[in-house]
Structure 1
Amino acid sequence: MAENPRPELMALLQQFTVETDRYVDTVSARDSLYRTDLNALGVMMGAARTGAVVTPGMLRSELHLSSPATTALVDRLDNAGHVKRSRSDVDRRQVHLEMTEKAMATGGKLFAPLAQHIGGALAQFSTEELELLAEMMRRITSATIAAREEVAGGPAG
């Protein structure tokens, strides 16, 4: 093993990022989806995991879109059958967005090959090694968020 593996690890993380982007570009082109649509569905899936309510305003903020671009995005996702709009029970002016079964099936179809291959790679590690890798990814993700906020001039949100 190299005396200082950090430069190689940094290069591998960069390569992983590039290859992930290439994968997303390939599946989005194959299935005629815009990257923004996939990013929106990713945001919605993350919100669903935490129980957060998704609104057009939340998507606008998370994806750094203008109001007209957000409206076009939600309209595309709605017309494609990927989201369902409903009015808030508390404030009827507020629209809530929910992913549909079709969106979940589409997401599964798009990302199943990636999950299968990454799952196969991860299966070669012990539980202890996976715990270490998970901690590394948490720290790298936090560092990436901090760097983004720094170059943006403060915390995002």
Structure 2
Amino acid sequence: MADDDAVRTPGGPPALVLLLQEFTLEANRYVDTAGGRNDMHRTDLNALAVIMRHAAKGTVVTPGVLRKELHLSSPATTALIDRLDQSGHVIRERLGSDRRQVQLRMTPKAYRDGGAMFLPLARHMGAAMAEFTPAELEVAARFMESMTQATIRAAQEAAGPEAAGPAALGPE
């Protein structure tokens, strides 16, 4: 491994942890700026990301799924969905024979607006990634996945034992 100065800052956390913190801060600033210019809250953009992720997997997103994944109260979830519906980014569809279950779907407008908001970020990140070899990107991807899973486990631990059952802990 590299010498300790490259891995750990004097008296502080490892340099990689500081870089992850800085990346997270800058990514949050970008989301706030891009969302703010489009009259969208961070929670709105997070909701669209959840819906998009589920759509890519072919799974249904209900208000309950959104509430759980975004850690919102029921009233906050309703207000969020109302905002996204009124802005033309999400539609509610009734499912099943009794039509009681509501599914949330992104509209073409949401995909267009999201693409426009995040195109500059994608362009700059793509250019930065082009500076690395496929092998380096593979290592970076494994590292980021590992950091993401570690963060999920830490959040579950911070939430307390009632939130972290065996299934919730994820891969070891």
TM-score normalized by structure 1? 0.94
Q: 1:2: how far off?
A: 5.2
Code of the residue aligned with 1:3 in structure 2: it is: D
Query: Which runs of 5 or more residues in structure 2 are unaligned?
Result: 8-13
TM superposition outliers: structure 1 runs of 4+ over 3 Å: none
* Corresponding residue SS for 1:84: strand
The alpha carbon displacement at 1:64 in A equals 1.1
SS in 1 for 2:147: helix
- The equivalent of 1:113 in structure 2 is 120
Does 100-109 or 89-98 show the bigger shift?
89-98
Gaps of 5+ in 1: none
Deviation at 1:89, TM superposition (A): 2.4
Tell me if 1:143 matches 2:143: no
SS of the residue 1:128 aligns to: helix
Normalising by the residue count of structure 2, what TM-score does the alignment of the two structures yield? 0.86
Match of 1:78 among 79, 85, 95: 85
Which residue, out of 95, 103, 111, partners 1:96?
A: 103
Q: Which has the larger radius of gyration?
A: 2
Task: Specify which structure has the bigger relative contact order, considering alpha-carbon pairs within 8 angstroms and separated by 6 or more residues.
Answer: 1
Residue type of the alignment partner of 2:3: E
- CA deviation after TM superposition for structure 1 residue 48, in Å: 1.3
Aligned-partner Cα distance in 1 for 2:57–2:147: 21
- Shift of the alpha carbon at 1:51? 1.3
1:8 maps to what in 2?
15
Percent identity of equivalent pairs: 58
Q: CA RMSD in A?
A: 1.7
One-letter amino acid matched to 1:104 = Y
* In 2: Cα distance, 1:15 partner to 1:126 partner: 23
